[in-house]
Structures are given as C-alpha cells and as structure tokens.
Amino acid sequence: MRWFLGIFVCISCVYARHEQYDQSALFSVKAKDAEQINYFNSLDYPMDIWLYATQERNGLVLVPKGYVQQFQDELYSKGIEFVIEVENIKDSLELEDKLRADKARSRAMRSDNDLLVNFDDIYNLTEVNNYLKKIAEAYPDVATLVSGGKSFEGRDINYLKISNSNFQNASKPIIFVESLLHAREWVTLPTTLYAIEKLVVNVTDQDLIDDFDWIIMPVANPDGYEFSHDGGRFWRKNRRNGILPGDVCLGVDLNRNFDVFYGLGSSNNVCTEIYHGTAPFSEPESQVIRDILHSDDRIEMFLDLHSFGNLILYGWGTGELPENAFSLHVGGIQMATAINEVKEDWNLNYRVGNAALVLYPASGTAMDYGLKAGVPLSYTYELPGLRNFGSTILGFLVDPEFIKPSAVQTWEGIKEGAYFLRSIRRNLA
C-alpha cells in the first residue's frame, strides 16, 4: 500500500512541475517605430519581457495563461506585428528536463575527476557550493573560499579569491566576474565555473594568473537560483517577501537595486520583474557586491554575466557616456571579436555598446555601480539564447549540448578582456 502511495506521490509531483507556466505563450513582437518599441518595453505586470524590442530586433514576451487572447487583441489594435513562438511554454520546460535527465544518466556511468566540472548539466546551488569548497581545499595556495554575506533567506553568497600571490601583490589588477544575479539565467553559471577551472585546475594560460588576481562569484542570487530549480524556472529576482500583505508578489530585481540612478529606469511595483526594492541597497545580495567592489582599489575590471541577447554592454544605463567610454567601447569590441571568432556559424555575432542605446534604459544596475565605485572597465555580458530549441527559442532554457561551447566561447571574451586591461595599463605606465 505504502509503495503505491509512493508512486502516486511521485507522479503527482512530476506533473505538478512547471504547472504555473502551463499555457503561457511566448510572443515574438516586431515593433516598427519608437512608439511601438516604447509601448512594448513598458508593458507592465503580468507580462514577462524576456527580450526588449529594438529597431533591429524583435522583442520576446511571455504571456501567462488567461491573458493570451487579450494580449493578441491589444497588439492587433495597435497594429503591431507578432508571432506566437511557443503556444505552451510548459512543453519547452519539459523538453529541458528531459534533455538534462538524459545527460545526468549518461554522466552517472562515468567516473570523472571531481575537480573538473562536467559541462553537460547545470549544477544546482548545493553542487556549486560543494565544488567551490573542494577547489579551495585542493588548491589552498591559489583559491580561497569566502562568504561575502548571507542572502535574504540566509544562504551564503560565496566566491573564490584566486591568486598566486595571496592577494598581496599590489601591482596586480583584480578582475571580478559574477553570474546569476538574475536567477533564471542558468547558462551564465558554466562560464564562471569554467573560469575557475581555467585559472585553478587546468591552467593553460599561466599569464592570466601571474598578471591578475581574480574574484569569481558563480551564484550572486542564491535564493532566487534555488527557487528557479524547485519553485519556478523563470524566477528572476531575489526572494524578499513581506513587501505586500499576503505576499501577492515578492522579490526585488537585484540588478535595479544598486545606488546609481536609482529608480530612473526601473519599477516601484513589486509585481513587476524590474521592481527596484524599497531603497537603494535594500537587499543583502546587492550589498555583498557593493562591498566587494569597494573592498580593493585594485579591482579594475568587473563583468556581470547575464543572458540573453549576444551583447556586451557598458554604462551608463541612462544613455549618457562615461568619461572612459572610448576605452570601454574598444575593450568591448575586443572581447566581442574574440567570442565571435570561435562561436558557431549559426549563432549571432555579439554586439557592443552603451546599455541604453543598444538595449533599453535601466537604472540601479551592478554594471553602473561598478563604474561609480571606481572600476574603470565595468561590463554586462548578455550571453546567447536565440538558438532554436526543439520547436522553440532557447531564451532562458538550457540545451545541455550548448553548455560547454557557451562556457568556452564566453571565456575567450573574458580572457581577451584581461589582455585588453593589461594593454591599457602598460600604455598608462
């Protein structure tokens, strides 16, 4: 009897998975002028904009069950062209689960060196933390595990300090790379894990460790990330609750919560994906990044990894250009070129530019705060995600086949960024 009950429970739990996304439809929207772009990009709750529309590129928006017809009518009435890319996004989520499960099965049959990551699945938070700990234990002379503080729900926000001179060589610049500030952007994680592998475990470019110190934070938003595995795959924000009575909506967009142009390009509606919080740095997760950025004058490059869009962006998020915009642009182009040279032919070329001009104005971002905190080369990466996935667009979903290539290609960009930093320092010296 018990056994049957067990089966029943398990089946119902499999079926309950992704239920909240059942019959949510993914729309691709072609906005043809400034008015239409503006209309699309300021859509409010309950739509979830995956990709902002620009002159060159269609926007993507996930529309929940119950709003699909209404949204179509609205687009018709405004004369905006659209295509429904995915009628029911739950099908795509199930495809992702299936592909990941297949890989997990094949992995279980191999005995791997556990200091090397298997880049065929996305590690969950426990696995990432175990990995960081293992690396720090195996390479105590190079890697130090640090908890930068606790998340809203009390999880450690961990990072590795990587240095062959114990962070004591004052003439070395520090490069700070961070991923998963936005929980659902899973494909960014393998890149930071690969960076650790290339800087600590399998070092093939010794100068990257001789000439630089590194701070690598794979999961900047651990509560949101955990939730994206076991609560809602498309969760973006942190898990701050108690803002509205009964928690009708919760979570702060951490990448709008930094104290830089706060509130100018974000929302004060907690039900949106770009809710900026109750005040600048109201959230422990953004405080941790702030504190790192201020912890050492030697931090000269900051890379905040997001997905998706094939972009390398720099400040300011308002569209004004910082004093060193020229260097930022040249560095961005060099990084993008390095990635474009190794990417697959089917993938889009990376584009480089000011975040507001290329994408859409946004305020309170980690990237802008890096610049404000005195880190000259501060960038946001938007990794690729426009590849077809079954009958759909990949977006935030991960194709296990693309995990390793994505990590390797992005690393080429980061490496090139380090070399660019070194070259401009030489010119200053």
What is the spatial distance between Cα 49 and Cα 63, in angstroms, rounded to a whole number? Answer: 9
Residue burial 188-213, b: 16+ Cβ < 10 Å; e: rest: bbbbbbbbbbbbbbeeeeeebbebbb
Which residue's CB is nearer to ligand NAG, number 226 or number 399?
A: 226
Which one, of 214, 203, 209, 189, lies nearest residue 410 by Cα? 189
Among Zn ion, ligand NAG, none, the one that 172 touches (CB under a kind-dependent 5 to 8 A) is ligand NAG
Tokens of 323: 């004093």
Q: Is-contact 139 176, C-beta < 8 A?
A: no
- Smallest separation (angstroms) from ligand NAG to the CB of 199: 12
Q: Please identify which residue in 57, 172, 182, 237 interacts with Zn ion, judged by CB under 5 A.
A: 182
Binding mask 202-231 for ligand NAG (x = CB under 6 A): x-x-----xx--------------x--xx-
- Smallest separation (angstroms) from Zn ion to the CB of 385: 11
Among Zn ion, ligand NAG, none, the one that 169 touches (CB under a kind-dependent 5 to 8 A) is ligand NAG
Instruction: Say how many residues touch ligand NAG, by CB under 6 A.
Output: 15
The count of residues in the chain is 429
- Smallest separation (angstroms) from ligand NAG to the CB of 124: 4
Q: Is 382 a catalytic residue?
A: yes
Catalytic-role residue among 56, 382, 401, 412? 382
Which residue's CB is nearer to ligand NAG, number 120 or number 211?
A: 211
Question: Which DSSP string corresponds to 279-306?
Answer: STT-SHHHHHHHHHHHH-TTEEEEEEEE
Q: Which stretch binds ligand NAG (CB under 6 A): 163-171, 175-183, 326-334, 362-370?
A: 163-171
Q: Is-contact 48 20, C-beta < 8 A?
A: no
169 binds ligand NAG (CB under 6 A): yes
Which residue's CB is nearer to Zn ion, number 402 or number 419?
A: 402
What is the spatial distance between Cα 18 and Cα 90, in angstroms, rounded to a whole number? Answer: 6
Among Zn ion, ligand NAG, none, the one that 116 touches (CB under a kind-dependent 5 to 8 A) is ligand NAG
Which residue's CB is nearer to ligand NAG, number 248 or number 429?
A: 429
Q: Please identify which residue in 18, 306, 343, 387 interacts with Zn ion, judged by CB under 5 A.
A: 306
Phi then psi dihedrals of residue 235, to 5 deg: -70, 135
Q: Which stretch binds Zn ion (CB under 5 A): 179-187, 244-252, 292-300, 314-322?
A: 179-187
What is the spatial distance between Cα 343 and Cα 361, in angstroms, rounded to a whole number? Answer: 28
Q: Is-contact 307 185, C-beta < 8 A?
A: yes
Tokens of 76: 């018709």
Q: Please identify which residue in 20, 54, 72, 124 interacts with ligand NAG, judged by CB under 6 A.
A: 124
Which residue's CB is nearer to Zn ion, number 395 or number 400?
A: 395
Which one, of 26, 25, 30, lies nearest residue 82 by Cα? 30
Which residue's CB is nearer to ligand NAG, number 143 or number 386?
A: 143
What is the spatial distance between Cα 183 and Cα 228, in angstroms, rounded to a whole number? Answer: 6
Cis peptide before 316 (omega within 30 of 0): yes
- Smallest separation (angstroms) from ligand NAG to the CB of 305: 20
Q: Is-contact 47 234, C-beta < 8 A?
A: no
What is the spatial distance between Cα 150 and Cα 182, in angstroms, rounded to a whole number? Answer: 17
- Contact set with Zn ion (CB under 5 A): 182, 306
Residues at the contact surface with ligand NAG, assessed by CB under 6 A: 116, 124, 126-127, 165, 169, 171-172, 202, 204, 210-211, 226, 229-230
Catalytic residue list: 382
